[in-house]
Structure 1
Amino acid sequence: MTYLVSPDCVSCAIEDGVAILDLKSNTYFSLDEVGTSIWDRMANPASLDDLTKAVASEYDVAPEVCRGDIKDLLDDMLKNGLIQVV
């Protein structure tokens, strides 16, 4: 399964992360530095494994430590329509 940013969302960099506007619901969301790294990688289709490897490498954390948190974030983003499964 791969994930991609929804075409119904626009985002912009803010001081310590990213602000996202869901154009369907007119709701704003924000992500911290790690969330922003994940969001940016989903400009192109990315799998949970791809995202886990990238975050583990970028932040020097074991993949098994961050995988669950990334999965939770992806589930939340899906629930809110920020990303789609492709």
Structure 2
Amino acid sequence: MSTTEPTASLDENSLVVRSGHQTHRELSDEFVILGIKTGRYFSVEEVGAAIWRALQKPTTVAELCEQIVAKYNTSHVQCRADVIAFLEELRDEELISLIEK
């Protein structure tokens, strides 16, 4: 498996994982994430924290959506759009990597 360019688009079959360019701490119901390259801090709560937790191992967007739809009251269509938007933000900050299958 190898990582792909950050400009590759994400879809339900995209395989993503936390990158090595971050460090994080779980504080109660949230994660505080530091982008090592940028020095920027991020805080994610509830749904974002659930996604971040799942990203400890390579996971597809579809698998993330299955988990979110099962736990929270949302549609699959809305979940897919929101999860992809969130993952794109994380990828832009080099906090996650897209893995080539």
**TM-score between both structures, scaled by the size of structure 1:** 0.92
Deviation at 1:62, TM superposition (A): 2.0
Distance 1:48 1:35 in 2: 13
Deviation at 1:16, TM superposition (A): 3.6
- 2:95 is matched with 82
Distance 1:14 1:72 in 2: 24
Percent identical across equivalent pairs? 26
What's the Cα RMSD here? 1.1
Q: 1:2 aligns with which of 15, 24, 34?
A: 15
Distance 1:67 1:80 in 2: 20
Q: Which moved more, 1:36-45 or 1:9-18?
A: 9-18
Residues 1:35 and 2:65 aligned together: no
How many residue pairs are counted as aligned between the two chains?
86
- 1:66 is matched with 79
- 1:57 is matched with 70
**TM-score between both structures, scaled by the size of structure 2:** 0.79
Higher relative contact order (CA 8 A, sep 6+): 2
